[in-house]
Chain A
Amino acid sequence: QQQVKQSPQSLIVQKGGISIINCAYENTAFDYFPWYQQFPGKGPALLIAIRPDVSEKKEGRFTISFNKSAKQFSLHIMDSQPGDSATYFCAAVKGAQKLVFGQGTRLTINP
């Protein structure tokens, strides 16, 4: 069964700190790994994504690190801000098939 395991389930970080969320996958055929951000009462929104042919992708304060051999990828949020407080979902997909989501991480940034 295709699975994506995400940790931690919840995370509290001080303002200005680095938030790190980890995901591991099983299916080596996955070839696209997006991260979604969800605020309370809203739908998930695409934040950043990576393909397995690169080890890192950075967009502003958000960075994805990808370790193909370990089948792991992580989201790093630098200089975390209270406005980053949300639930974050990693996901994986093979080709253009349906997305498989991790369980989600509730991130709280304390001011």
Chain B
Amino acid sequence: NAGVMQNPRHLVRRRGQEARLRCSPMKGHSHVYWYRQLPEEGLKFMVYLQKENIIDESGMPKERFSAEFPKEGPSILRIQQVVRGDSAAYFCASSLLGTGQSGANVLTFGAGSRLTVL
């Protein structure tokens, strides 16, 4: 089991460019979460997705950020027209359970994608 796979591990963009971060969940997991970690800070929830559906995007900035989890392929976090404040580590996590299901929501995290905006 390869775990949660994220790529690229490091991404450098200039202001105004687009950043695309990809996440493949653990085998058998159909629930994907994106978290953002700013330097010296904790993890902030951004969005929760299931296949082809956005379930909770309450932590996602209203502009420039979007996420998808298509029927086939990885989940994508897309940041348009990046600004320096977008520089952060973006972590994807997957779980067997999701909201609305009983049991503890144990998340398995990927190694993260570190975005640097010049």
Residues of chain A touching chain B, judged by Cβ–Cβ distance below 8 Å, are 6, 32, 34, 36, 41-46, 49, 51, 89, 93, 95-104
Contacts and interface: CB of A to CB of B under 8 A. Distances in A.
B33 A89 contact: no
B42 A96 contact: no
B99 interface: yes
19 contacts: A34-B106, A36-B109, A41-B111, A43-B109, A43-B110, A44-B43, A46-B106, A46-B108, A51-B104, A93-B105, A95-B102, A95-B105, A96-B99, A96-B100, A96-B102, A96-B105, A100-B45, A101-B44, A103-B41
**Chain A contact surface mostly:** loop
Interface residues of B, number: 30
A3 to B, nearest CB: 11
